[in-house]
Every structure is written in C-alpha cells, then in structure tokens.
Amino acid sequence: MTAPLLILASASPRRYELLTQIGVSCRVETADVDESPLADETPEALVSRLAQQKAQAVWQRLAATPDGLFLPVLGADTLGVLDGELLLKPRDFVDAQALLGRMSGRWHTIFTAVALVTAAGTSVVLNRNAVKFRSVSDAEILAYWRTGESCDKAGAYAIQGRGAVFVERLEGSYSGVMGLPLFETAQLLAAAGIKTM
C-alpha cells in the first residue's frame, strides 16, 4: 500500500475516489464542524469557510497528538443554490419532491470550496458550476426517491449516480459538482509540492 500523501478531512467516498483517480493516496480523518450559516453569509463565503474549518480542525487535532502532524490536510465542502436559497439534504420524500420540483427545467448553482492546510499556512479555492435540469415529472421524482440515492444528497440528487439523467447541461466542472473539483485541487496540491498522477 502506498503511503498517504495527505489527509482528507472528509468522510465522502466520492472525494476519496476522486483523489485516488488523480493518483493521490490519502488517509481519511473526519472533522466535526458546525455547518450553520452565519448571519448574512453568502453561499460562496459559507462553503469556503466550511472547507477551511474542516481542514483546520483535523490539522489542529492531529497536531496535538504525540507524533505531531507531517502531512497536509485537505478539506472540502459543496453547496447548491437555487433562487438564493441553499439546496440542503431532504428531510423526507415531501422535501425531496419539493426540491427536485423546483429545480425541474431550471438552472441552479453548485459551489465547491477546497482548502489545503500545511505547515506553511492555509490556501482555499472556490469552484462554481451551473447545472440545468431537464423537466422532471412527479413520477420520475418518486421513482428516483425509491432508489434511495436522493435521501442523503444535498439538493436531493447525485450527478455521479442515477440523478445524472436529470442533468440537461453542465457549465463548469463535473468533479466539482460531485464534491471535489480536480483541476483546482491539483493546482493547490502542486503549489504545496504534492504531485498528482
């Protein structure tokens, strides 16, 4: 097994897979941070703050261990926005139906921020994507809900799964919508001396 090049401050299997895809081995350490927005905080500021807080929380926790910390920590956060409102995880089917119904035939925005904490400091990049859904019927929403895929996904869909059939158009980064924009991530890692591929 290859020694990890960094620590991923995320429990997301998609982020782990995306890092592996570009040849970066990592170790997963989750961060527990309050994800509540601050008063008057923009979605861009919120997603950037959360990515940074996740990476810094893991960095600080591991730095306090007897062995210290020698690996960079990568944190990320993704948020969807429609009509100025955050697209959160649905509470139940009624909530998912409302979310997907509002997105039907319309554009929404997905922001993903990536933060890298090293001994030299913290760097954060923001990725913005526009996603257009085709018209989605109530029957399709119900069938999709029954797959179980939308239950724990922000915006009630996964572009890397069956939810991809709803996406008519994407302007931006597919991996960014999944939760880790590889172009920006590779740039952050390269600046810290971490090779990809």
Give the pLDDT confidence of 67-121 residue by residue, as tens digits.
666 789 999 999 999 999 999 889 999 999 999 999 999 999 999 999 999 999 9
Catalytic residue among 67, 77, 92, 138: 77
What residues pair up with 41 in beta bridges, in sequence order? none
**Catalytic residue flag (residue 77):** yes
Amino acid making up residue 103: M
How is residue 60 written in tokens? 């600080």
Write out pLDDT tens, residues 20-56.
999 999 999 999 999 999 999 999 999 999 999 999 9
What residues pair up with 121 in beta bridges, in sequence order? 118
Residue whose token pair is 């526009």: 130
Confidence label for 128 from pLDDT (cuts 50, 70 and 90): very high
Query: What's the Rg (C-alpha) of the chain?
Result: 17
Side-chain-facing half-sphere of 7: CA atoms under 13 Å:
21
